[in-house]
Amino acid sequence: MDKPKINLAVYWGAACGGCCVSVLDVHEALFTVVEHANLVFWPIALDFKYSDVEAMPDGFIDVTLFNGAVRNSENEHMAKLLRQKTKVLVAYGSCSHMGGIPGLANFTTKEEIFRRAYFDSESTVNPDKVVPVTEYDMPEGKLTLPKFYNDVRTLNQVVDVDYYLPGCPPQTERLVEVFMAIVTGAQLPPKGSVVGARDKAQCDECKRKKTDNKLIKKFYRPWEIQDDGETCFLEQGVICMGPATRSGCGVRCIEGNAPCRGCYGPSPEAKDPGAKMMSAIATMIDAKEPEEINKIINQIEDPAGTFYRFSLPGSILRRKICK
Amino acid sequence: MDYKPTIIAFLCNWCSYTGADLAGTSRMKYAPNVRSIRVMCSGRVDPTFVLKAFREGADGVLICGCHPGDCHYHEGNYKCLRRYHLLQKYIQQMGIEKNRLRLEWVSASEGKQFAQLINEMTTTVAKLGPCTVKEVMETLT
């Protein structure tokens, strides 16, 4: 069966590289991948240039896996360029899906970041207060740098996204499933769907014991308890994002005795990744008096960071309001 | 510029909505800035509702329920109380002033108290100025 190979591209915006590694993690299945696909652009692995992408006709790329958030004008430019040249654009990984870890910068401002990075950090010596600028004239010509945005954006805040493949990084088995579905021409779900993840929450697949004892009087950090290895984390007072997070990752963190942190994002009906979890956590508090309730809640040092660790830019309050 | 605050109020069917209704049928005058949304129980108020209200332009959000011990569904108002405290912590982290979100217990007979509450909250929110959430969230900088 001589089916033409699909053109596949992988690109990284504001990313850590983990998603690209998750693609490489297909190991020997890489041979299956290249049997079905031409890799036409992949900065971490191949030496194609931006000009190669610009020269492609529109829609030339069948599938682009775009990982990383959009944090500067270069990320935005490439998101728009790849959208133009791609038939199916997949937001691959937490960062492009919901903002990811880079998204936590939405708790601060460009000004504060620059101040910290270029002036105040302990090992920095910068008496002339030099900061990066977008344009600089040199005798040889004009030098340019991308513009650093104040707001970290999710991919769909910049371009139209066809599918979301969540995870930090996505489980490689899910990627292979999605890839093979595309390649074999299987019926794909409607545009805008989350693929490579199930519709049910982590709790559905978690093997830990769940009892009816869901009321707690104290929240603990994972290292503050002697985890018995069997009981639901929440029942032991450790915050686990499982109830508000899609399954599909194989509950690998919990199998490693660490509570889920929510990287697969919210289940289909939850409009906001963290709000549902806040609702669930609050319900578990075993107290009726405001003072006692407050005392227990204050054990959660950082609700915003805990419940929106991977999803701040993609949530209803997508950034902190800074003066 | 004369800014008139918009306050979204989630009122539980059994106590606080009835209390608000009493204020109305008693022809009590109170600030017109509140938009009431009736829910069956204050425990129904999902944090998402509150966040969405701010996101869509509310300057203040009020949640009213039955007094502790009087909830028609026994525990609903306690769940609401717990969610409210966590929500307060969260919205303050996000830069929203704490006085924009308020929880009060209003019983079915407390029409006068409801009217006073609305007047009080309207004054407080007016002093804080318009809430910038909608504007900030809609503008990517």
Cα-Cα-Cα-Cα dihedral of A103, A132, A158, B138, to 10°?
Answer: 70
Neighboring chain A residues of B132 at a CB cutoff of 8 Å:
321
The answer, yes or no, to whether residue A30 has pLDDT greater than 90, is: no
A3: confidence class by pLDDT, cuts 50, 70, 90: confident
Mean pLDDT of A80-92: 97
The answer, yes or no, to whether residue A145 has pLDDT greater than 80, is: yes
Task: Report percent pLDDT > 90 for chain A.
Answer: 87
> Where does CATH 3.40.50.700 sit in chain A?
6-101+152-194
Mean pLDDT of A3-23: 94
pLDDT at position B131: 97
pLDDT in tens, B70-127: 999 999 999 999 999 999 999 999 999 999 999 999 999 999 999 999 999 999 999 9
- Rounded Cα distance between A62 and A47, Å, is 19
Mean pLDDT of B18-47: 97
Neighboring chain A residues of B46 at a CB cutoff of 8 Å:
275-276, 279
Q: Which residue of A has its CA nearest to B85?
A: A294
pLDDT in tens, A178-211: 998 888 888 889 999 999 999 999 999 999 999 8
Mean pLDDT of A261-265: 95
Residue A14's alpha-carbon distances to A79, A116, A153, B22, in angstroms, are 11, 19, 10, 56
B59: confidence class by pLDDT, cuts 50, 70, 90: very high
Neighboring chain A residues of B79 at a CB cutoff of 8 Å:
282-283
Closest partner CB to A281 (pick from B52, B86, B137) = B86
Q: What domains are defined for chain B?
A: 7-138 (3.40.50)
Who contacts B116 (Cβ-Cβ below 8 Å, separation ≥6)? B30
A28: confidence class by pLDDT, cuts 50, 70, 90: confident
Neighboring chain A residues of B140 at a CB cutoff of 8 Å:
149, 151, 153, 157
B135: confidence class by pLDDT, cuts 50, 70, 90: very high
Q: Which of A171-175, A269-273, A291-295, B37-41 has the lowest mean pLDDT?
A: A269-273
Q: Tokens 């690209």 label which residue?
A: A20
pLDDT at position A31: 84
Mean pLDDT of A167-184: 91
Cβ separation of A283 and B79 shorter than 8 Å?
yes
For residue A10, what are the β-bridge partners?
Answer: A65
The answer, yes or no, to whether residue B1 has pLDDT greater than 70, is: no
Who contacts A198 (Cβ-Cβ below 8 Å, separation ≥6)? A204, A205, A246, A247, A248
Q: Which residue of B has its CA nearest to A318?
A: B137
Residue A173: Cβ-neighbour burial (10 angstroms; 0-12, 13-18, 19+): middle
pLDDT at position A233: 96
pLDDT at position A55: 97
Mean pLDDT, chain A, whole residue set: 94
pLDDT at position A15: 96
Quick one: chain B helix, strand, coil %, rounded to 5?
Answer: 50, 15, 35
Instruction: Just give the CATH number of A6-101+152-194.
Output: 3.40.50.700
